[in-house]
């Protein structure tokens, strides 16, 4: 996972440039939907692919947005969101990961079997999501008689859950994914 948080960079051009209507529209959309993906921005702004790419690049160069680039998706954030929150928000925008995180929060320590039973997903699917969450240090594993999963920073995750509720777009995308999984 590569995070580009311009607020953390001290080197670079300092732009004094007034934003145009498109850039203001993009900033508003990104601020209202932290962690929004490129395709979601395309749909919600009705911009063409090239126009969106062009203006996102300008906003990045101007250090007006942060980006989190992962293997399959790039997510866009307000520059005001701290780096430690970016990776957590990305996981909370995915329904099954959000459900896993909330389940572990509610139970403090959970076994793999408890998470599988709760989620009603295949063990291989849950294993894949848990691995992603562990890699990004959202959850950790405690080894003993059983592998027990817990949230690394409970206070921060609770704050983020409270601050950033699931958006309507997230619900639509997650419903579509659920339908595809059931086919």
Helices (H), strands (E): how many in the chain? Answer: 9, 7
- 1 pLDDT above the threshold of 90: no
Tens-digit pLDDT profile for residues 31-75 = 888 888 899 999 999 999 999 999 999 999 999 998 888 777 788
Q: What is the pLDDT of residue 10?
A: 36
Give the span between the Cα atoms of 50 and 59, in whole angstroms.
Answer: 14
Percent of the chain at pLDDT above 90? 49
Please tell me whether the overall predicted TM-score, pTM, comes out greater than 0.85 for this model. Answer: no
């Amino acid at each position: 996972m590569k995070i580009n948080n311009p607020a953390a960079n001290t080197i670079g051009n300092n732009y004094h440039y007034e934003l145009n209507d498109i850039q203001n529209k993009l900033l508003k959309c990104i601020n209202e939907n932290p962690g929004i993906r490129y395709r979601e921005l395309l749909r919600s702004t009705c911009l063409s692919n090239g126009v969106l790419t062009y203006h996102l690049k300008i906003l990045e160069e101007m250090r007006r947005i942060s980006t989190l680039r992962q293997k399959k998706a790039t997510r866009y954030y307000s520059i005001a969101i701290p780096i430690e929150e970016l990776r957590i928000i990305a996981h909370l925008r995915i329904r099954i990961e959000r459900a896993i995180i909330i389940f572990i929060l509610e139970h403090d320590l959970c076994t793999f079997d408890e998470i599988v039973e709760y989620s009603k997903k295949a063990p291989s699917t849950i294993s894949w999501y848990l691995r992603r969450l562990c890699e990004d240090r959202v959850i950790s594993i405690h080894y003993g008689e059983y592998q027990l999963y817990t949230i690394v920073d409970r206070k921060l995750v609770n704050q983020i859950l409270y601050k950033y509720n699931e958006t309507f777009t997230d619900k639509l995308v997650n419903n579509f994914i659920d339908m595809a999984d059931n086919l």
